[in-house]
Copies of this chain bind each other. A is one copy, B any other.
Amino acid sequence: MSPKITTELLKQLRQVMKSPKYVQEPVQAYIVPSGDAHQSEYIAPCDCRRAFISGFDGSAGTAIVTEQHAAMWTDGRYFLQAAHQMDNNWTLMKMGLKDTPTQEDWLVSVLPEGSKVGVDPFIIPADQWKRMSKALRSAGHDLVPVKENLIDTIWTDCPQRPCKPLITLDLSYTGVSWRDKIVALRSKMAERKVLWFVVTALDEVAWLFNLRGSDVEYNPVFFAYAVIGMNTIRLFIDGDRMMDPVVREHLQLDSSLEPEFKIQVMPYGSILSELQAVGTGLSPKEKVWLSDKASYALTEAVPKAYQYLTPYTPICIAKAVKNASETEGMRRAHIKDAVALCELFNWLEKEVPKGTVTEIIAADKAEEFRSQQKDFVELSFATISSTGPNGAIIHYKPVPETNRTLSVNEIYLLDSGAQYKDGTTDVTRTMHFGTPSAYEKECFTYVLKGHIAVSAAIFPNGTKGHLLDSFARSALWDCGLDYLHGTGHGVGSFLNVHEGPCGISYKTFADEPLEAGMIVSDEPGYYEDGSFGIRIENVVLVIPAETKYNFKNRGSLTFEPLTLVPIQTKMIDVNLLTQKECDWVNNYHQKCREVIGAELERQGRHEALRWLIRETEPLARVQ
């Protein structure tokens, strides 16, 4: 991976930062956030502005360019990748390390007095705008909205915004009709005494209308906004997508519906003016509900007095708690996904010793096996197929320049998943196709202990996920080890593989309490720069737990793994496991054997079935 040469681009950007054509007054700094106008994590090619200007294309990062400097903030997952992809014009700001300045502090330290800092108001979330604006103001600088995106002005071959056909999902997948979702949303609005709700996140629009798209790779979403009133539904969406009779029927666009369920379809680009019109017509006490992560542009379209901002929207929270149809769909998707991985690992075991399998070939083979499964749509994120030192690059994606050949001498880490029409998967397994060293086994076993500690944890109703994060690290901490990423994220149901409002992280973001029906990942790891990476990830469902006592009648919760793929026992140092941990592994493998074994049998995949049986042999602890 050679870095992108950005000298010329930065020169151009610095020119437009001073050009009266684009800015009222010159800006001394320009911020290029990661997201799009919907604050999406995964974005369409036309929105990859930060990657365009810097070369760094990880999923999280913020670039700031001043007249003298260019700096990139990203987190521990991407330190190595960003360092590889960026040239010497860029300074890497490692978030989470003690000495790394915040963006605000850094700006204050480098800017001349009374500077203007520009940003596209559609790309920056309102809460970030607020924080940054305040910090800059208190140091005598100004954060200013720059209407035209300055990157777009220098990006001559910027791709077009995608506008792909939609998929409709019927009740057997969603469990609840879009009408009933609107009814539930309006009742939440009534509870909070708000009259309007603005849906800005793409996965929230998709979930609300039981529609899916493919405008963004890996995320089955489409570019749209919605504004829900107590008696109106406005959907802002472009293209011929509303001409499709299946979509028209699904949304009942041509039926004689009660007026409050009649969907008004409007152009995508008209959201700002429509929202301004809504804002103008308000009387006191008539509030408009927005996520505090909605763009500054849309938030400011509503007069401050009428804004009702919350960190998580009622749609985000409702979407996180999967209903019975969704849970069953997720189970089915994970069974199919496990079948594909059993095929893959069986194939790898035979092929790797021949020295012909590269990271890319392995990733492609994983996709091939997945695509053979029913209702397969696409991958749910770029497959992380990494061997040896590449495994230490936490969100590595193999490209020809880095593509390494799998061997019997190195650890192989595969973090992959797919979108099926009935659910989204995300699973990581770490394998050795030869003989792992004692040290590799030791590290793997600490990671496994952490994985089990979370998966088997019992905790009271109302517990927030971040309170479970240390369970995943305790065994590593005991030996002075750790990993620089969170332990888990919410997973969508045939939606984004990362979703809020729950998660398991040492970062105390305002996560919502875990509830039965929520689905999160459990993925501790350990990484040695230049040597190897280990991660063990299951997607797990929050379920009620039976306990001996029941303090204050609160009830307890625990997790049930949805992912049912063997954990390589060859990598386990059994003597480091407690009896309980050993039992956990054996019970888990027993379940893999039963459930996935039956499906492999049904699909006539006998060789993979034999592999599964062998890989799920019980562990025996030496006393």
Judging by beta carbons under 8 Å apart, are A478 and B506 in contact?
A: no
* Closest CB in chain B relative to A557 CB, distance in Å: 10
Instruction: Assess A460 versus B482: contact at CB under 8 Å? Given A284-B140, A508-B508.
Output: yes
A-B contact pairs, 20 of them (CB 8 A): A98-B462, A140-B285, A458-B477, A458-B480, A459-B470, A459-B477, A460-B480, A466-B508, A467-B469, A467-B506, A468-B470, A470-B470, A477-B556, A480-B549, A480-B550, A480-B551, A481-B549, A482-B551, A482-B554, A508-B508
Bound-complex Cα distance A282 to B387 (A): 61
Q: Is A277 an interface residue (CB 8 A)?
A: no
Judging by beta carbons under 8 Å apart, are A478 and B458 in contact?
A: yes
* Closest CB in chain B relative to A623 CB, distance in Å: 11
Which residue from B470, B478, B554 sits with its C-beta under 8 Å from A467?
B470
Judging by beta carbons under 8 Å apart, are B480 and A548 in contact?
A: yes
Q: Is A547 an interface residue (CB 8 A)?
A: yes
Q: Is A155 an interface residue (CB 8 A)?
A: no
* Closest CB in chain B relative to A204 CB, distance in Å: 24
Judging by beta carbons under 8 Å apart, are A481 and B284 in contact?
A: no
Judging by beta carbons under 8 Å apart, are A479 and B549 in contact?
A: yes
What are the residues of chain B within 8 A of A480 when measuring CB–CB? 458, 460, 547-551, 556
Q: Is A457 an interface residue (CB 8 A)?
A: yes
What are the residues of chain B within 8 A of A506 when measuring CB–CB? 467
Judging by beta carbons under 8 Å apart, are A457 and B479 in contact?
A: no
What are the residues of chain B within 8 A of A460 when measuring CB–CB? 477, 480, 482
Mask of A575-605 contacts with B, CB within 8 angstroms, 1/0? 0001000000000000000000000000000
Instruction: Assess A547 versus B479: contact at CB under 8 Å? Given A467-B470, A469-B467, A470-B468.
Output: yes
Mask of A551-571 contacts with B, CB within 8 angstroms, 1/0? 110101000000000000000
Q: Is A346 an interface residue (CB 8 A)?
A: no
Q: Is A403 an interface residue (CB 8 A)?
A: no
Which residue from B305, B457, B474, B477 sits with its C-beta under 8 Å from A477?
B457
The chain A residues found within 8 Å of chain B, CB to CB, are: 98, 138, 140, 284-285, 305, 457-460, 462, 466-471, 473-474, 476-482, 506, 508, 547-552, 554, 556, 578
Instruction: Assess A548 versus B479: contact at CB under 8 Å? Given A470-B470, A471-B474, A508-B508.
Output: yes
The 8 closest A-B pairs by CB, nearest first: A480-B547, A508-B508, A480-B549, A479-B548, A480-B550, A467-B470, A481-B551, A482-B551
Of the candidates A480, A508, A550, the one having the most CB atoms from chain B within 10 angstroms of its own CB is A480
Question: Which residue from chain B places its CB closest to the CB of A466 in the assembled complex?
Answer: B508
Question: Which residue from chain B places its CB closest to the CB of A453 in the assembled complex?
Answer: B474
Judging by beta carbons under 8 Å apart, are B478 and A547 in contact?
A: yes
Bound-complex Cα distance A146 to B480 (A): 54
What are the residues of chain B within 8 A of A481 when measuring CB–CB? 549, 551
* Closest CB in chain B relative to A112 CB, distance in Å: 14
What are the residues of chain B within 8 A of A547 when measuring CB–CB? 478-480
Given contacts A479-B547, A482-B552, A578-B578, could you give 5 more A-B pairs where the C-beta distance is less than 8 Å? Answer: A98-B462, A459-B477, A468-B470, A478-B547, A480-B548
What are the residues of chain B within 8 A of A459 when measuring CB–CB? 470, 473, 477
What are the residues of chain B within 8 A of A548 when measuring CB–CB? 479-480
* Closest CB in chain B relative to A153 CB, distance in Å: 35
What are the residues of chain B within 8 A of A473 when measuring CB–CB? 459
* Closest CB in chain B relative to A236 CB, distance in Å: 27
Bound-complex Cα distance A480 to B305 (A): 45
* Closest CB in chain B relative to A427 CB, distance in Å: 25
* Closest CB in chain B relative to A105 CB, distance in Å: 11
* Closest CB in chain B relative to A132 CB, distance in Å: 17
Question: Which residue from chain B places its CB closest to the CB of A480 in the assembled complex?
Answer: B547
Bound-complex Cα distance A462 to B462 (A): 27
* Closest CB in chain B relative to A573 CB, distance in Å: 14
* Closest CB in chain B relative to A559 CB, distance in Å: 13
Bound-complex Cα distance A478 to B460 (A): 9
What are the residues of chain B within 8 A of A477 when measuring CB–CB? 457-460, 556
* Closest CB in chain B relative to A346 CB, distance in Å: 34
Of the candidates A479, A508, A551, the one having the most CB atoms from chain B within 10 angstroms of its own CB is A551
* Closest CB in chain B relative to A581 CB, distance in Å: 12
What are the residues of chain B within 8 A of A457 when measuring CB–CB? 474, 477
What are the residues of chain B within 8 A of A305 when measuring CB–CB? 138
Bound-complex Cα distance A417 to B582 (A): 44
What are the residues of chain B within 8 A of A578 when measuring CB–CB? 578
* Closest CB in chain B relative to A503 CB, distance in Å: 14
* Closest CB in chain B relative to A471 CB, distance in Å: 7
What are the residues of chain B within 8 A of A285 when measuring CB–CB? 140
Bound-complex Cα distance A478 to B140 (A): 53
Bound-complex Cα distance A595 to B157 (A): 76
Bound-complex Cα distance A471 to B549 (A): 19
What are the residues of chain B within 8 A of A508 when measuring CB–CB? 466, 508
Question: Which residue from chain B places its CB closest to the CB of A478 in the assembled complex?
Answer: B458
What are the residues of chain B within 8 A of A466 when measuring CB–CB? 508
Of the candidates A473, A549, A550, A554, the one having the most CB atoms from chain B within 10 angstroms of its own CB is A549
Bound-complex Cα distance A459 to B477 (A): 5
What are the residues of chain B within 8 A of A458 when measuring CB–CB? 477-478, 480
Question: Which residue from chain B places its CB closest to the CB of A481 in the assembled complex?
Answer: B551
Bound-complex Cα distance A140 to B578 (A): 59
